[in-house]
Amino acid sequence: MTHAAVSPPRPFALACPDLSAERLGNTGTPGVWHFDTGEPGNKVMLSALIHGNELCGAWALKAFLASGLCPRRGTLTLAFCNLAAFDRFDPSDYLPSRFVDEDLNRVWSPDKLADPTTSERRRAAELRPWVDQADWLMDFHSMSTSDVPLQLTGMHQRNIDLALRLGNPANVIADAGHAAGVRMRDYGRHGAPDDNGTRALLIECGFHGAPESRDVALDQMARFLIEAETLDRADVPSGWLAADASRQQALRVTQAISSPSGRFRFARDWKGLESLAAGTLIGWEDGEPVVAPYDNCVLIMPSVANIRPGVTVLRLAQTIA
Ligand SMILES: [Zn+2]
């Protein structure tokens, strides 16, 4: 079977950061930095480049390191995660550098972590002690098509509440992850349903190649570190914090639509956050129509950019009353 060449859907305008210093880390784990204030407080982790072509978080972590800021309380870990994939980044063909062998955000389960057969599983094993020790985790991502930032909270109320306390972005999405494997933000204690003191957010900062995605990442980093009491508000450099969203809405994902065939097609050029009436045609899975199953059905991150059999191509969500 041959595959038609897939050209990138949009030009990539965000510059690629020079990480030659940042990739060294200060922990013995490449790309991982750790700061211990010696004071009581949360153990906070900020992670970037789980996907090698999602540069906004790398820019934010680089800005933190360049700022000379010292955490005030607890500990802070910064992780540049999939450096091997990042090293393949090419702005003229940016989709392949998402990962080397498999998606690093689908391997966070004991069976895969115990089976170091891919570049990403070996990297996850290196990162695992840092994720294990983190009480508060913010994981920075960007998207293939959507421009509007989304805070992905998972299903647990403690993280939905935190996303609403942050005051930005406007759209908070409670989602259950992916059939294809466990995300880092759902791993270990972070996946436990009871409030065990952990907090985990996955921020989708906008389109991969949009310079604005870097601004969103800086704003989110600042808000998260203030809320975790790692920093005081007065510590935050000017220009990092954006205005609060005029209004936040929380949406709960009711189902993830994956493509068993790897041949899903959309009926329209959906951007995400469209609200559809029941019965509206969304697309076709291997020729079979897929329609909105209920009224006010909101489309979350429609994308066939990374399609292959089993990959999530879309989530459907409804407003949390
Ligand atoms: Zn991502």
Distance 295 CA to ligand 1 centre (A): 29
Cis peptide before 169 (omega within 30 of 0): yes
Q: How far apart are CA 36 and CA 57, in angstroms?
A: 21
Q: Are 148 and 171 in contact (CB under 8 A)?
A: yes
Q: How far apart are CA 251 and CA 316, in angstroms?
A: 9
Instruction: Give the percent of the chain with pLDDT over 90.
Output: 91
Mark whether 52 and 170 lie in a shared domain.
yes
Distance 234 CA to ligand 1 centre (A): 31
Distance 37 CA to ligand 1 centre (A): 30
Residue 146: the pLDDT is 85
Q: For residue 64, is it left (φ>0), alpha (ψ between -120 and 50) or beta?
A: alpha
Tokens of 217: 């990442």
| Cross-strand partners of 252 | 174, 318
Give me the residues near ligand 1 (ion), CB cutoff below 5 Å: 51, 54, 141
Distance 260 CA to ligand 1 centre (A): 21
Residue 282 lies in a domain: yes
Least confident of 90-104, 168-182, 224-238, 288-302: 168-182
Mark whether 31 and 177 lie in a shared domain.
yes
Distance 225 CA to ligand 1 centre (A): 21
Distance 105 CA to ligand 1 centre (A): 8
Distance 127 CA to ligand 1 centre (A): 17
| Mean pLDDT (whole number) for 169-173 | 97
Residue 75: the pLDDT is 98
Residue 5: the pLDDT is 42
Distance 279 CA to ligand 1 centre (A): 30
Distance 28 CA to ligand 1 centre (A): 25
Distance 148 CA to ligand 1 centre (A): 14
Interval 207-251: pLDDT, tens:
999 999 999 999 999 999 999 999 999 999 999 999 999 999 999
Per residue, the 3-state secondary structure of the chain, as one string, reads CCCCCCCCCCCCCCCCCCCCCHHHCCCCCCCEEEEECCCCCCEEEEEECCCCCCCHHHHHHHHHHHHCCCCCCCEEEEEECCHHHHCCCCCCCCCHHHCCCCCHHHECCHHHHCCCCCHHHHHHHHHHHHHHHCCEEEEEEEECCCCCCEEECCCCHHHHHHHHHHCCCCEEEECCCECCEECHHHCHHHHCCCCCCCEEEEEEEEECCCCHHHHHHHHHHHHHHHHCCCCCHHHCCCCCCCCCCCCCEEEEEEEEEECCCCCEEECCCCCCCCEECCCCEEEEECCEEEECCCCCEEEECCCCCCCCCCCEEEEEEEECC
Residue 11 lies in a domain: no
pLDDT band at 6 (very low <50, low <70, confident <90, very high): very low
Q: Are 23 and 30 in contact (CB under 8 A)?
A: yes
Distance 170 CA to ligand 1 centre (A): 19
Distance 159 CA to ligand 1 centre (A): 19
Interval 255-279: pLDDT, tens:
999 999 999 999 999 999 999 999 9
Mark whether 151 and 36 lie in a shared domain.
yes
Q: Is pLDDT above 90 for 305?
A: no
Distance 205 CA to ligand 1 centre (A): 10
Distance 221 CA to ligand 1 centre (A): 16
Residue 3: the pLDDT is 43
Distance 39 CA to ligand 1 centre (A): 33
Mark whether 219 and 260 lie in a shared domain.
no
Residue 244 lies in a domain: no
Q: What is the CATH number of the domain that holds 226?
A: 3.40.630.10
| Mean pLDDT (whole number) for 192-206 | 96
Distance 19 CA to ligand 1 centre (A): 19
Residue 5 lies in a domain: no
Torsion angles phi and psi, residue 85, rounded to 5: -75, -45
Q: Which among 13, 50, 273, 17 is positioned nearest to 141, based on CA atoms?
A: 50
**Range of the structural domain that residue 26 is part of:** 22-235
Q: Is pLDDT above 60 for 7?
A: no
Distance 50 CA to ligand 1 centre (A): 6
Interval 146-156: pLDDT, tens:
899 999 999 99
Q: Is pLDDT above 50 for 10?
A: yes
Mark whether 268 and 205 lie in a shared domain.
no
Q: How far apart are CA 299 and CA 305, in angstroms?
A: 16
Q: Is pLDDT above 50 for 2?
A: no
Mark whether 83 and 146 lie in a shared domain.
yes
Q: Is pLDDT above 70 for 37?
A: yes
Interval 128-148: pLDDT, tens:
999 999 999 999 999 988 899
Tokens of 81: 């995660």
Residue 13 lies in a domain: no
Mark whether 34 and 168 lie in a shared domain.
yes
